[in-house]
Chains A and B, each alone.
Chain A
Amino acid sequence: MERIRKHHLFWPVLVLVALLVFNLLYDPDFFRIQVRDGKLYGNLIDILFFGSPLALVAIGMTLVIATRGIDLSVGSVVAISAAIACFTISKGADQNDPGLVATAILLALAASALLGLWNGFLVTRVGIQPIVATLILMVTGRGIAQLITSGQIITVISPNYKVIGAGTLLWLPVSVYIAALVFALAALLTRKTALGLFIESVGCNPTASRLAGIRSVTVRLFAYLFCGFCAGLAGIILSSNVSSADGNNAGLWYELDAILAVVIGGTSLNGGRFFLTGTLLGVLIIQTLTTTIYSTGVPPEVNLVVKALVVLAVCLIQSEGFRRTLARSLVSVRPSHQRVEGKVTTRG
């Protein structure tokens, strides 16, 4: 029991299970899944579907945070990637031409990766702290996205492009497969090669890692590049889902949700330790919460309030100091010696 409680995924899993149990008690229909036209429908599928772009961004963010960095620009990169893809397609003679769609996607992904590289360059070569370096792109990025779309919402009519964000493959939405693929790729790269170790080492102590022979600059550059790439992919999924690009609102608040997912998953913002599975759980918690709020009929505007309370609760539970205060207030009924109190604390 002690080992389970100490496991890094204990709290995220508990929160997710609590949310699902609440739904089970409130309305068992929450778990109903229907098959219609070779497509699965249901709240659980919705959670996966709407969660996949966020999962992509959060996976990239996890690696950046693991190197003791942060990327505030992901929301703007989502907007830029969506703008580039839709702009390219809208300029084509035949918007449905597979070649054109492929070009648009490649262009958008290349630009996003480049933007990630720019962030990495500022952090590693120029030596600006990550929060400031990526703040620059966060501010400028939305302007650039609007520049590309000339301040308009570009709408495209391209069934081939729409497949990415709204299509179905083997009963499940295509975007879920994309997210799963990227997750598998990231997990494989970081857990089956030395890269994960390098990232954690750089996050713990960049100087010591460099002296130990790790190319800390390259490792950090990779993390930012990967994060930009993931954000670009999320931008394509989001814009493809609605067949349009909105420079102002695409990916708004994404950086905050992504960082939230990472933190809920147990990855420390101080770097050096990261949990991709935890991040995925974090995304599922955020998305389940949103879906729960919608399905219980609470006005969607309250969503933000509930989210705030959940964030606080999750962070407080993970805080050692808060758990101690809580434990102390629970046992304070009994007059207890200092040492006894300490013993109680470690147990719960």
Chain B
Amino acid sequence: MARFAIKKQHVPIIASTALLILIFAAGSLRYTGFFSLQVLLNLLIDNAFLLIVAVGMTFVILSGGIDLSVGSVIALTTMLSAALIEQAGWPPAVVIPLVLALGTSMGAGMGAIIHYYRIQPFIVTLAGMFLARGLCFVISINAITIKDPFYVTMAQTRVPIPGGNFISISVIIALAVLAAAIWLAHFTRFGRCVYAIGGNEYSALLMGLPVGRTKVLIYAFSGFCSALAGVVFTFYMLSGYGLHALGLELDTIAAVVIGGTLLTGGVGYVFGTFLGVMLQGIIQTIISFEGTLSSWWTKIVIGVLLLLFILLQRLLSSRGEVREA
């Protein structure tokens, strides 16, 4: 029996994987042209930016916090990039590091306020969300189109992979971030500290872990991921606009939760977030393949999925309590 025993903390990930395979199989049976590697790769291409932010958000949620500012930071990044490149004529080689640094320092600033002044992450990142969104409109109320050759190249380059399929450069960036994050979460001192803080911040402090530094770093990392996602989003949309990525924080949190991370912190996997993002993507693909279903069904289906996964987690954790008792 022991050989087949599944670890409790792996159940949500197994459930997400099973659901992903099930939906893909159902889609393949129902629609012609659905069963192809390219459909799966398109999921990555269309959701590369979501994957990047969700990875950053995973760390925040693992530590027991929340970051509501991610969508706005993406919008600010697209807006700033567009304004600096198209209106001020700066080269992308300067602009991209600049926006990344800006996102990182915004995150670090929020993390510092959260930790040192003991204000709820919810409120601080909410202020960050208003601030970033507002700054977009200070730059310009209208959308700015980007015609810079570098950005156009990044947007249109197709990286061929064996078998005649292709991915975009954004996908490579997103997968690199995912790999780096998995390493960071499970193989470094920083990662273990994140889990410890999420498990019990006070205990982590008593153990002598650098709680303050880690918390600031977590939010800085999330800010960096948001800015990077903003850069990728700029490649994807080729424009800067203050209303880009509106409500994305919600999709991101949903992806992390569907991926099996507990919102109370301390439990979860970065790889689960990848599955959560893919699940959201495949639901959108199914709905667009179906044609007759309207876009708002996406929200309803994701909401129902969210409910199911939370109930599953709840079931697992309560069963665990009984066993311990």
Interface residues of A (CB under 8 A from B): 70, 126-129, 131-133, 135-144, 146-147, 150-151, 247, 256, 259-260, 263, 269, 299, 301-309, 311-312, 315-316, 319-322
A302 near B131: Cβ-Cβ < 8 Å: no
Q: Which residues of A contact B66 (CB under 8 A)?
A: 131
- A151-B296, A305-B134, A319-B117 are known contacts. Are A256 and B126 too (CB-CB below 8 A)? yes
- A127-B318, A139-B302, A301-B137 are known contacts. Are A308 and B122 too (CB-CB below 8 A)? no
Q: CA–CA, A301 to B253, complex, Å? A: 27
A139 near B138: Cβ-Cβ < 8 Å: no
Q: CA–CA, A150 to B296, complex, Å? A: 9
Q: Which residues of A contact B316 (CB under 8 A)?
A: none
Q: CA–CA, A319 to B130, complex, Å? A: 20
B128 near A321: Cβ-Cβ < 8 Å: no
Q: Which residues of B contact A133 (CB under 8 A)?
A: 310
Interface size on B, residues (CB 8 A): 45
A128 near B138: Cβ-Cβ < 8 Å: no
Q: Which residues of A contact B299 (CB under 8 A)?
A: 139-140, 142-143, 146
A305 near B120: Cβ-Cβ < 8 Å: no
Q: Does chain A have a CB within 8 A of B119?
A: yes
A143 near B130: Cβ-Cβ < 8 Å: no
B318 near A302: Cβ-Cβ < 8 Å: no
Q: CA–CA, A308 to B133, complex, Å? A: 10
Q: CA–CA, A119 to B94, complex, Å? A: 48
Q: Does chain A have a CB within 8 A of B44?
A: no
A308 near B130: Cβ-Cβ < 8 Å: yes
B264 near A143: Cβ-Cβ < 8 Å: no
Q: Which residues of A contact B134 (CB under 8 A)?
A: 301-308
Q: Does chain A have a CB within 8 A of B294?
A: yes
Of B120, B299, B304, chain A has the most CB atoms within 10 Å of the CB of B299
- A132-B310, A315-B124 are known contacts. Are A144 and B300 too (CB-CB below 8 A)? yes
Q: Which residues of B contact A256 (CB under 8 A)?
A: 126, 129
- Closest-by-CB residue of B relative to A269 is B120
Q: CA–CA, A305 to B138, complex, Å? A: 9
- Closest-by-CB residue of A relative to B131 is A308
A129 near B263: Cβ-Cβ < 8 Å: yes
**CB within 8 Å of A: which B251-310 residues:** 253-254, 257, 263-264, 294-300, 302-304, 306-307, 310
A-B contact pairs, 11 of them (CB 8 A): A126-B311, A128-B310, A131-B122, A139-B303, A140-B299, A140-B304, A302-B138, A306-B134, A308-B128, A316-B117, A321-B117
Q: CA–CA, A34 to B307, complex, Å? A: 52
Q: Which residues of B contact A263 (CB under 8 A)?
A: 120, 123
Q: CA–CA, A63 to B117, complex, Å? A: 25
Of A142, A259, A308, A315, chain B has the most CB atoms within 10 Å of the CB of A308
Closest CB of chain B to A261's CB: distance in Å? 12
Q: Which residues of B contact A320 (CB under 8 A)?
A: 118
Q: CA–CA, A260 to B128, complex, Å? A: 13
B303 near A315: Cβ-Cβ < 8 Å: no
Q: CA–CA, A306 to B137, complex, Å? A: 12
Interface residues of B (CB under 8 A from A): 66, 113, 116-120, 122-124, 126-131, 133-135, 137-138, 141, 242, 250, 253-254, 257, 263-264, 294-300, 302-304, 306-307, 310-311, 314, 318
Q: CA–CA, A4 to B295, complex, Å? A: 54
Q: Which residues of B contact A322 (CB under 8 A)?
A: 117
Q: CA–CA, A146 to B119, complex, Å? A: 36
B130, B250, B257, B310: the one within 8 Å of A307 (CB): B130
Q: Which residues of B contact A308 (CB under 8 A)?
A: 127-131, 134
Q: CA–CA, A247 to B300, complex, Å? A: 13
- A146-B296, A302-B134, A319-B117 are known contacts. Are A140 and B303 too (CB-CB below 8 A)? yes
Q: CA–CA, A138 to B251, complex, Å? A: 11
Q: CA–CA, A315 to B135, complex, Å? A: 21
Q: CA–CA, A138 to B303, complex, Å? A: 8
Q: CA–CA, A315 to B121, complex, Å? A: 11
A139 near B306: Cβ-Cβ < 8 Å: yes
- A131-B263, A319-B119 are known contacts. Are A309 and B131 too (CB-CB below 8 A)? yes
Q: CA–CA, A288 to B302, complex, Å? A: 37
- Closest-by-CB residue of B relative to A301 is B137
Q: Which residues of B contact A131 (CB under 8 A)?
A: 66, 122, 263
- Closest-by-CB residue of B relative to A143 is B299
A128, A143, A315, A321: the one within 8 Å of B300 (CB): A143
Closest CB of chain B to A98's CB: distance in Å? 32
Q: Which residues of A contact B303 (CB under 8 A)?
A: 136-137, 139-141, 143
Q: Which residues of B contact A315 (CB under 8 A)?
A: 117, 119, 123-124, 127
A259 near B127: Cβ-Cβ < 8 Å: no
- A127-B318, A131-B263, A139-B306 are known contacts. Are A304 and B131 too (CB-CB below 8 A)? yes
